[in-house]
């Protein structure tokens, strides 16, 4: 599976800890991330992460383009709902694309836990069918 890792500044530590906790699961998949988030995950876990621009510089849109091409299967986007984001329209567009293309999206730790356990059990295997149709 192709997995995107994105986190707002105040949530980056949470995402890094989450990936560390489930490193064995993430290691079986292809990881992508926005600039700093991807770098922090790589440094903390040793996992390879294809890095895009930072979110405010277009990284969210780069990942959104992959979603629109059905080349992204899962998105872990730890959002900070208490801090205004200068690129909020990009964030909204990314969330919308996940809905349009039925890409599972976790925006917080609680949802991420359910999604990673589902990935581990094979509950997301239906995405393989979508990938064959591309």
Q: Which residues of 62-71 are buried (b: 16+ CB within 10 A; e: fewer)?
A: bbbebbeebe
**pLDDT tens column, 32-91:** 999 999 999 999 999 999 999 988 888 999 999 999 999 999 999 999 988 888 778 888
Q: Output the pLDDT for position 126.
A: 85
* Phi, psi dihedrals of residue 3, rounded to the nearest 5°: -120, 130
Provide the residue range defining the domain that includes 108. Answer: 2-133
> Residue 25: pLDDT above 60?
yes
Q: Output the pLDDT for position 133.
A: 59
Strands (E), the chain: 2-7, 30-33, 49-51, 74-78, 105-106
3-state secondary structure of 4: strand
CA distance 90 to 114: 25
User: What's the structural domain count of the chain?
Assistant: 1
Q: Output the pLDDT for position 40.
A: 97
Q: Output the pLDDT for position 113.
A: 97
Q: Has 60 been annotated as catalytic?
A: yes
What is the pTM assigned to this prediction? 0.94
The CA dihedral of 105, 107, 113, 115, to the nearest 10 degrees, is 0
CA distance 83 to 5: 19
The single residue of 13, 14, 24, 60 carrying the catalytic annotation is 60
**pLDDT tens column, 98-130:** 999 999 999 999 999 999 999 999 999 888 877
Give the pLDDT band (50/70/90) at residue 16: very high
User: Where residue 91 sits, what CATH number does that domain have?
Assistant: 3.40.50.1380
């Amino acid at each position: 599976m192709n997995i995107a890792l994105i986190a707002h500044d105040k949530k980056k530590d949470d995402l890094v800890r989450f990936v560390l906790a489930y490193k064995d699961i993430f290691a079986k998949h292809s990881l992508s991330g926005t600039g700093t988030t991807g770098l922090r995950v790589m440094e903390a876990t040793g996992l390879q992460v294809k890095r895009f621009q930072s979110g405010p510089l277009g990284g969210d849109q780069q990942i959104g383009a992959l979603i629109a091409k059905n080349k992204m299967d899962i998105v872990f986007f730890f959002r900070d709902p208490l801090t205004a984001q200068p690129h909020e329209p990009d964030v909204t567009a990314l969330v919308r694309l996940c809905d349009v293309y039925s890409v599972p999206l976790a925006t917080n730790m609680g949802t991420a836990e359910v999604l990673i356990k589902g990935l581990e059990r094979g509950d997301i295997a239906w995405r393989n069918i979508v990938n064959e149709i591309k």
